[in-house]
Amino acid sequence: MQDGLTISDASSALGITAHTLRYYERAGLLPPIPRTDGGLRRYRDEDVQLLRFLAKLRLTGMPIRQVRKYSELVRDGDHTMAARRQILEEHRVEVEAQIRQLQRSLEVLNLKINLYEQGWVHGISPTNECTEKLQCLLEEKG
């Protein structure tokens, strides 16, 4: 009837439930999505594009309210580009920290699994260099 995706089409295209899409709109993460004469949402390409990016921000743990702030800046036009860039740069720092944190934890996990493998295969109590290394990693901050 009008161009753009229905909410259920947008939902399956984006992997976000219709409930959540409506919630995002109410919460100000999205601009008001255009409607048909009957009041049904029709998501345009640009809406889907924006959503794809905002979904990435959410995936990396950016809080709803900061995503909203970014999205509002987009709506406010080109003169907000420096501000938007700053938000993204600050968030990049966070994401990089998250990755480092996970990698440190992964190392601990690997060592621990290593110990279990040794204990399981050789039936010995785990008192060796792995154990020591594990101690060290666990005592580090973070």
Partner DNA sequence: TACGCGCTTAGAGCGCGCTCTAAGTCAAGG
Partner DNA sequence: CCTTGACTTAGAGCGCGCTCTAAGCGCGTA
Q: Which residues bind its own copies (CB under 8 A)?
A: 15, 49, 52-53, 56, 59-60, 78, 81-82, 84-85, 88-89, 91-92, 95-96, 98-99, 101-103, 105-106, 108-110, 112-113, 116-117, 119-120, 138-139, 141
DSSP state of 45: H
Cα of first residue to Cα of last residue in the chain, in angstroms, is 55
Q: How many residues bind DNA (CB under 7 A)?
A: 23
DSSP state of 3: S
124: partner contacted, choices its own copies, DNA, none (Cβ within 5-8 A by kind): none
**Closest separation between CB of residue 59 and DNA, Å?**
9
Contact 130, 115 (CB under 8 A): yes
Distance CA 120, CA 114 (A): 10
**Closest separation between CB of residue 74 and its own copies, Å?**
11
> In this structure, how many other beta carbons lie within 10 angstroms of the beta carbon of residue 1?
9
Provide the mask over 34-63, with x wherever binding to DNA is found by CB under 7 A and - wherever it is not. Answer: -xxxxxxx----------------x----x
Please name the residues in contact with 73: beta carbons below 8 A apart, sequence gap of 6 or more: 80, 83, 84, 87
**Closest separation between CB of residue 120 and DNA, Å?**
28
**Closest separation between CB of residue 94 and its own copies, Å?**
10
Distance CA 66, CA 119 (A): 47
**Which residues make up the interface to DNA (CB under 7 A)?**
1, 6-9, 17-20, 22-23, 26, 35-41, 58, 63-65
